[in-house]
Structure 1
Amino acid sequence: MDTVPGPRLPLAVQTPLLWGLPRWWLARCHRRYGDTFAVRVAPIGTVVFLADPDDIKTVFAGDPATYRAGEGNTVVGGVLGESSLLLLDGQEHRERRRQMLPPFHRDAVRRQTEQMAAIAAADVATWPVGREFRVAPRMSAITLEVILRIVIGTRDERRLDALRRALPPVVDTGFMAAAAMIRPSVLGLRPWAGVRRARAEAGRLLRAEIANCRTDPELDERTDVLAMLVRSADMTDDELRDQLMTLLLAGHETTATALSWTLERLVRHPAALARAVRAADEGDDDYLDAIVRESLRVRPVLFDVVRKLTAPVELAGRRLPAGVTVSPAIGLVHNSARHYPDPLRFDPDRMVGATLTPTTWLPFGGGARRCLGATFAQVEMRVVLREILRRVELAPTTARSERQRAKHITLVPHRGARIRVLARRPAPVAAGAGGVASGSC
């Protein structure tokens, strides 16, 4: 391998820095070594980070047989199952992605917005008034309910309650669960018995939902993602279970974290908050979408995406060998003054009418591996944000910004995105769920 600059610290030092302080550590490396640098981290090995959009374009447009995302995603493989879309490569990935696309097309997502709005409104009605609270758990509850009702299609309250209890522990990214994701072999050890039982129970319940869906006499009328997959995709129950777990991992806590950051940013910017309230009241989806895009820029949930090389490549002016992992660094690009003036400033106006390129705004990755649910997530964020702003008056704050804390592969607000509701607003006359704005995919 041509020499790639990077820290010479031992693997045992670099590993906790990358997993525990990724934003700080990678920003520091970027300042010192430039747009291309290498770090060493267990259990992956050498990772070459890329912050130049031209190099990122090369990766996203590269031959998927050489730039393998499935192999690069093995750090989350332990919980997803071997047929998960995230872990597949090549023709197998292309075929599975083709089968899973229809539920995430623009028109299919548009049909779900009214139900998204109802789920958000019901949760917001329970929020405390007049005291500060962590909004992150409320966002998790909303996005989980969206998964249960719109993705899995569960309607029976008893089964919903069981899933609400069983699914969150499976995608928990605390130390024990994260270790089991990275090293599935530890599941046989006694300290991981709880993780093992949680996964078994979640798998049992998901298989029961799949069986119920297959035999549902109203299957042809159902609009949930599972029903659409059962009708259109030739998948076994195990394959469907793996895809449901993938959608849970990729669409529950990630979207909840993105919504939490959006509220954390808004309450610290009174002018943007006031304009957001007007936009929610007036049905100005363009500005709400701009808020979503700016929040995803300034506080990306994932700091990077990965591809593992299966053959030598010429990249960033260097020859990299097979076995190296290359990583387009979302956070470094989003925080670059070359692409965004005053990049650390939260400014939704910069996103109004903006034409975003796929290598300078990439919170959902890019290329053939761009997140399947990107449109779904952005629409869900806009709908939930609108329901919050129309139903409660949020208090601006002068509190310091919350730090980005690493939680396995995501970056979450370190205090849970604390906010305060001043008062409840009069109930909107109509739900105003709206459709999918033209800039949402």
Structure 2
Amino acid sequence: MTDRYPPGPRLPRVVQALLHTKWHAWFMTTQARKFGDVFTLRLVPPMPEHVVVFSRPEHIREIFAADPADLHAGEGNRSLEAIMGEHSLLLTDEAEHARARRLLMPAFTGSALAGYRALVEAIAEAHVDTWAPGSTVTTLDRMEDLTLEVIMQVVFGVTDERGRAELMPLLRRILDINPVVFLGFKWPRLQRFGLWKRFQQDKVALDSVLYAEIARRRAQPEQDRRTDVLSRLLAVGSGDEPLTDAELRDQLVTLLLAGHETTASALSWALHEMAAAPAVQERARQAAHDGDDRYLEAVLKEAMRRRTVIGGVPRQLTRDMTIGGIPLPRGTVVHTSIVLAHQDLVNHAEPERFRPERFLDGSLAPNTWLPFGGGVRRCIGASLSLMEGTVVLREVLSRYRFTAAQGERGRIRNITNVPAHGARMVITAAAAPATAAR
């Protein structure tokens, strides 16, 4: 069976699984140098047994454009079910996924985002105003606090102090998942002990709070006047069967896990990269003063390219298929490597250079920038994440200059690439840009 797959490392499966999980970017890069654009990883449960890695734009286009019935994204993410729930948008396929996405989409339209923007601006301004000029701030921690507040209010609609005090600690503990916890999903007996037991207790407590909030909101006749994501989901019209309580719970937790740490990490990387590129920082400060959100969004996008937050996108074959000219058997997981696509010399000139202009000059080719995936499974919250990130960058840059307190490297926390030292910055108060003062 193994000779049906492209070549790949011959390391023991458990070693490959560890490298894939903890040192993902380094492992992908070294294997691509050795085996080329397509190679096979052999992993251990609960991870897929065979993972074939693709990174060329034409291969990625082929995977994203394929019939979703042939390539199941939900099955490729199955190890997350114990956290996100069986109804999660990330874990369902075909008709069930299409229905859930259809019901969720109204909460992420352009008009919906316009309604969230003022709230995001107020949250960002309040948080950034607490920074003390002349101090050293750990930007990853600050961005996580800020983006969690956005999730609390924009997604859950929880604004009162009592509700926030009840929900916030639970969300923090669920978010701070030790990767070892995932072993307990494969061997349930572990859930009676130590950190596995604590995780289960936190999950039960969170579910209790969420179901109580859902019940309370269902009982409120004025719910259609609220604009948070939960209220929009509860107000789904009669043309579709509404989401059940269990489905609502799973989608809310999915939005929390998929939209919190990823955005916080991207923002902290953006600040770190600008600290190392003073000319970019000054142009971004000018953009913040001028209201040039297009350039600020390009800064965020370039940070997502340069410091890839999520390493890749998996799909599981439901039948024998040929991808990139390679016959693959049913059950294979194909992995579109975001890390490798973002580092490719052919598609990204000077890939190690932080150059936001590449997102403004028309040089970016399709299927070469993939932080939100692609095709019918593209992240439903992509526009919200970009809007939130742009707003936060504007608030920071309009108030402060910053320099890196130390060098930085990435580390994998949960499944996200975060700054290992928290992207610590020394901040100083910033006057208006020179061009604006004249």
Q: C-alpha offsets along residues 60-92 of structure 1, whole Å, 9 cap, x if unaligned?
A: 011111110000011211101111111100111
Deviation at 1:362?
0.9
- Contact (CA 8 Å) 2:347, 2:364: kept in 1 or not? no
2:428 is aligned, of 405, 422, 425, to 422
CA distance in 1, matches of 2:187, 2:216: 30
1:286 is aligned, of 294, 299, 316, to 294
CA distance in 1, matches of 2:429, 2:190: 47
Are 1:161 and 2:165 counterparts?
yes
2:223 is aligned, of 219, 228, 249, to 219
- Contact (CA 8 Å) 1:178, 1:408: kept in 2 or not? no
CA distance in 2, matches of 1:268, 1:279: 18
Q: C-alpha offsets along residues 255-285 of structure 1, whole Å, 9 cap, x if unaligned?
A: 1111111111111110000111110011011
What amino acid is aligned across from residue 83 of structure 2 in structure 1?
A: V
1:5-404 → structure 2 map (5 Å cutoff):
5-43=7-45, 44-180=48-184, 182-183=185-186, 185-186=188-189, 188-191=191-194, 192-232=196-236, 234-354=242-362, 356-391=364-399, 393-397=400-404, 399-400=406-407, 402-404=408-410
Deviation at 1:218?
2.5
Q: C-alpha offsets along residues 158-194 of structure 1, whole Å, 9 cap, x if unaligned?
A: 01111111112112232344444x5372563222221
Q: Structure 1 residues 424 and 118, CA, compared in 2 at 3 Å: closer, same or farther?
A: farther
* Structure 2, unaligned runs of 5 or more: 433-438
CA distance in 2, matches of 1:152, 1:108: 15
Q: Which moved more, 1:1-10 or 1:184-193?
A: 184-193
What amino acid is aligned across from residue 410 of structure 1 in structure 2?
A: T
CA distance in 1, matches of 2:64, 2:304: 20
What amino acid is aligned across from residue 6 of structure 1 in structure 2?
A: G
- Contact (CA 8 Å) 1:290, 1:348: kept in 2 or not? yes
Q: Structure 1 residues 424 and 398, CA, compared in 2 at 3 Å: closer, same or farther?
A: closer
- Contact (CA 8 Å) 1:187, 1:195: kept in 2 or not? no
What amino acid is aligned across from residue 89 of structure 1 in structure 2?
A: D
- Contact (CA 8 Å) 2:76, 2:316: kept in 1 or not? yes
* Structure 1, unaligned runs of 5 or more: 427-441
Corresponding residue number in structure 1 for 2:418: 412
Q: C-alpha offsets along residues 357-415 of structure 1, whole Å, 9 cap, x if unaligned?
A: 44111110011110010011011100111111112x22234843x11111132111111
What's the % identity of the aligned pairs? 41
Q: C-alpha offsets along residues 319-341 of structure 1, whole Å, 9 cap, x if unaligned?
A: 10011110000110111110011
CA distance in 1, matches of 2:122, 2:182: 33
Q: TM-score, normalised by structure 1?
A: 0.92
Q: TM-score, normalised by structure 2?
A: 0.93
CA RMSD of aligned residues (A): 1.7
Q: Structure 1 residues 384 and 184, CA, compared in 2 at 3 Å: closer, same or farther?
A: farther
Deviation at 1:310?
1.2
- Contact (CA 8 Å) 1:187, 1:196: kept in 2 or not? no
CA distance in 2, matches of 1:130, 1:12: 47
Q: Structure 1 residues 398 and 123, CA, compared in 2 at 3 Å: closer, same or farther?
A: closer
CA distance in 1, matches of 2:221, 2:146: 28
CA distance in 2, matches of 1:89, 1:356: 30
- Contact (CA 8 Å) 1:358, 1:366: kept in 2 or not? no
CA distance in 1, matches of 2:423, 2:68: 38
Deviation at 1:133?
2.6
- Contact (CA 8 Å) 1:170, 1:177: kept in 2 or not? no
